[in-house]
């Protein structure tokens, strides 16, 4: 490559790349040659590219690089524009993120463990839900990257939590949680009857975890069989959504039936002694021979519920490692339709949040255009946005999908009766979440 000019200042080195002849076809070769230079991995390098008298591009190096464009100046010389590649593990210190992880491990003194974690949190800007008990930890929290990632790193430095799968996603408007709740909790997830009696510390009792790529292969094979059988479910394999019905309403894996559940606490798939149940996809299946592919948002609900099903005699249990969020990050939206419901201020996230580079047009079409399953709770029409809202009636607070016309007509309520409620909040604009009631009560008093 000709015309490379390397200069430096007292602060940071600067590099100029100039080529006399290059075509788009040569980009791949040139990229590998540029990567070979030893100065490229240096963080903080200043790059100014273009002609020396008129330098149109200037930025600081954060990580490694890629050629993103070729351009020509007025003299006909070609110049290589280089920019930092995105590094999923790199975050600006003040960029807010949401972090999720859980881990089943024996904790001899969970109260002491809570005290250690609270001590580490001192002076750090973290909001969220972090629960510990004798069976392990379950954490979902938000904060600036420097604090949020520091806590996750500190947790993993403990040998008991070394294998934790930490999942990170962006949040655009500050905290996704109102405050920090870090405490001892008898159940890491809420389920009728509790979970402390379940042998969750025994991996062999829980479902066999499938990596995202393994899950994708199984999903594609299952849907192929179902398509060939006119949509009938494969008798040797069941796809089980271990979430709530309203979560399915905004997004799910293709072929997964809608769970008839309003709260995970009351989930009862496979627990009925009745051989026939329209609302139970596990009713009347062969427990010895049927593969049950379970999935949920982050994986913990599947791990817990698989232990229950194992106790009920189900032999072939599989779960999606890291849940839907891990799958979307690893495989994109292949096999997924809609958005992902999350239990924080964001409410629902489109697949590109987890994997910005959607690989194929087919994935784009499936993720964004196929929302025919999503219906307005009030009138039954298609909704344009896959995001829930809460009923404006505080004493109802129902989560529901709603079209714009019904939002305006019923003033943000889920039904006509709620529009005359005593504690009625204003219609929420856009994708906001309601604040505490006292905020609206004080606003109403000020108007009077």
Write down the pLDDT at residue 437. Answer: 84
Domain end, chosen from 188, 221, 242, is at: 188
Q: What percent of the chain has pLDDT over 70?
A: 70
Whether 71 maps to a domain, the answer reads no
Q: Is there a single domain that holds both residue 178 and residue 216?
A: no
- Segment 144-190, tens digit of pLDDT: 999 999 999 999 999 999 989 999 999 988 999 999 999 999 999 99
Tell me the C-alpha to C-alpha distance, in Å, between residue 150 and each of 143, 159, 161, 166.
10, 16, 14, 12
User: Do residues 141 and 245 both lie within one domain?
Assistant: no
Q: Give percent of the chain with pLDDT exceeding 90.
A: 58
Same domain, 120 and 180: yes
Do residues 325 and 259 share a domain?
Answer: yes
374 located within any domain:
no
The 10s digit of each residue's pLDDT in 87-101 is: 455 566 789 999 999
Domain boundary pick from 130, 158, 188: 188
252 & 339 share domain: yes
* CA-angle at 385, arms to 380 and 387, nearest 5°: 90
Residues 222, 175: one domain? no
Question: Tens digits of per-residue pLDDT, 16-40?
Answer: 444 433 444 444 554 454 444 433 3
Q: What pLDDT sits at residue 47?
A: 39
Q: What is the mean pLDDT of residues 210-228?
A: 88
Residue 189 is encoded by which pair of tokens? 């997830």
Structure tokens that stand for 389 in this block: 């809202």
Pair 182, 107 in one domain: yes
Helix (H) or strand (E) holding 120: helix 110-121
Is residue 296 part of the annotated active site? The answer reads: yes
Question: Which of 85-89, 238-242, 372-376 bottoms out in mean pLDDT, i.e. has the lowest?
Answer: 85-89
pTM exceeds 0.95, yes or no = no
Domain assignment of residue 432, yes or no = yes
For residue 438, the model assigns a pLDDT of 80
* CATH number reported for the structural domain that contains residue 349 in this entry: 3.40.250.10
Nearest Cα residue to 109 out of 130, 129, 133, 131:
133
Decide: 337 and 252 in contact? Cβ < 8 Å: yes
Kindly report which listed range (82-96, 148-162, 218-232, 233-247) carries the lowest average pLDDT score: 82-96
Q: What is the DSSP letter of 237?
A: E
Q: Tokens 């906001």 label which residue?
A: 432
The tokens 């404006």 sit on which residue?
Answer: 392
Question: Do 248 and 312 fall into the same domain?
Answer: yes
Residue 375 DSSP one-character state: B
Catalytic residue, chosen from 61, 237, 296, 406, is 296
Question: Which residue has better confidence, 9 or 144?
Answer: 144
Q: Are residues 395 and 302 in the same domain?
A: no
| Predicted local distance difference test score (pLDDT) of residue 213 | 97
Examine the domain organization and report whether 265 and 340 are in the same domain: yes
Domain boundary pick from 353, 372, 399: 353
Residue 289 lies in a domain: yes
Confirm whether 24 is domain-assigned.
no
Chain mean pLDDT for the chain: 79
> Which ranges constitute the DSSP H helices of 164-299?
212-228, 245-248
The pair phi, psi for residue 181, each rounded to 5°, is: -125, 100
Q: Tell me: do 424 and 336 sit in the same domain.
A: no
Question: Crossing angle for the helix pair 110-121 and 145-156, nearest 10 degrees?
Answer: 150
- Of 433 and 383, the one with more pLDDT: 383
Q: What is the pLDDT of residue 385?
A: 81
Tell me how many domains the chain contains: 3
More confidently predicted of 313 and 233? 313
pLDDT tens readout for residues 42-82 = 333 333 333 334 444 333 333 333 333 334 444 444 444 44
* Cα atoms found within 13 Å of the Cα of residue 387, Cβ hemisphere only: 17
Q: What is the DSSP letter of 41?
A: T
C-alpha dist (Å) from residue 250 to 142, 246, 298, 342, 347? 23, 7, 16, 10, 10
Regarding whether 400 and 339 lie in a shared domain, the answer is no
Going by pLDDT thresholds of 50, 70 and 90, the confidence category of residue 393 is: very high
Give a yes or no: residue 421 inside a domain.
Answer: yes
pLDDT, residue 91, reads 63
Domain hosting residue 318, numbered range? 208-270+284-353
**8 A C-beta contact, residue 264 and residue 301:** yes
Q: Per the domain annotation, does 313 fall within a domain?
A: yes
């Amino acid at each position: 490559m000709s015309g490379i000019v390397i200069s430096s200042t007292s602060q940071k080195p600067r590099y100029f790349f100039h080529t006399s002849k290059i075509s788009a076809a040569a980009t791949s070769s040139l990229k590998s040659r540029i990567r070979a230079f030893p100065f490229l991995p240096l963080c903080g390098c200043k790059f100014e590219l273009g002609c020396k008298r008129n330098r149109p591009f200037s930025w600081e190096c954060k990580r490694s690089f890629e050629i993103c464009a070729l351009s020509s100046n007025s003299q006909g010389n070609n110049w290589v524009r280089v920019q930092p590649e995105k590094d999923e593990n790199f975050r600006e210190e003040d960029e807010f993120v949401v972090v999720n992880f859980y881990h089943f491990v024996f904790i001899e003194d969970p109260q002491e463990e809570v005290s250690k974690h609270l001590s580490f949190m001192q002076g750090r800007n973290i909001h969220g839900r972090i629960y510990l008990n004798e069976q392990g930890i379950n954490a979902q929290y938000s904060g600036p990257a420097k604090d949020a990632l520091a806590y996750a790193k500190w947790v993993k430095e403990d040998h008991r939590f070394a294998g934790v799968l930490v999942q990170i996603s962006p949040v655009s408007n500050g905290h996704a949680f109102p405050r920090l709740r870090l405490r001892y909790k008898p159940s890491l997830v809420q389920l009728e009857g509790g979970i402390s009696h379940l042998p969750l510390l025994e991996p062999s009792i829980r479902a066999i975890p499938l990596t995202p790529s393994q899950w994708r292969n199984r999903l594609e094979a299952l849907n192929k069989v179902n398509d060939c059988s006119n949509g009938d479910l494969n008798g040797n394999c069941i796809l089980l959504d271990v979430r709530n019905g309203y979560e399915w309403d905004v997004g799910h894996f293709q072929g997964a039936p809608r769970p008839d559940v309003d709260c995970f606490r009351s989930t009862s798939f496979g627990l009925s002694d009745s051989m026939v149940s329209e609302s139970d996809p596990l009713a009347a299946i062969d427990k010895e021979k049927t593969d049950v592919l379970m999935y949920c948002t982050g994986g913990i609900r599947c791990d817990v519920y698989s232990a229950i099903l194992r106790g009920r005699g189900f032999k072939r249990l599989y779960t999606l490692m890291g849940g839907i969020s891990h799958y979307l990050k690893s495989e994109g939206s292949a096999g997924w339709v809609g958005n992902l419901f999350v239990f924080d201020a964001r409410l629902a996230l489109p697949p590109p949040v987890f994997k910005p580079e959607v690989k194929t047009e087919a994935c784009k079409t499936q993720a964004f255009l196929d929302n025919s399953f999503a219906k307005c709770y009030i009138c039954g029409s298609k909704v344009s946005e896959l995001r829930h809202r809460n009923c404006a009636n505080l004493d109802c607070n129902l989560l529901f999908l709603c079209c714009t016309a019904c939002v305006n007509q019923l003033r943000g309520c889920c039904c006509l009766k709620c529009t005359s409620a005593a504690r009625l909040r204003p219609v929420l604009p856009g994708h906001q979440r309601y604040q505490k009631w006292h905020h609206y009560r004080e606003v109403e008093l000020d108007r009077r």
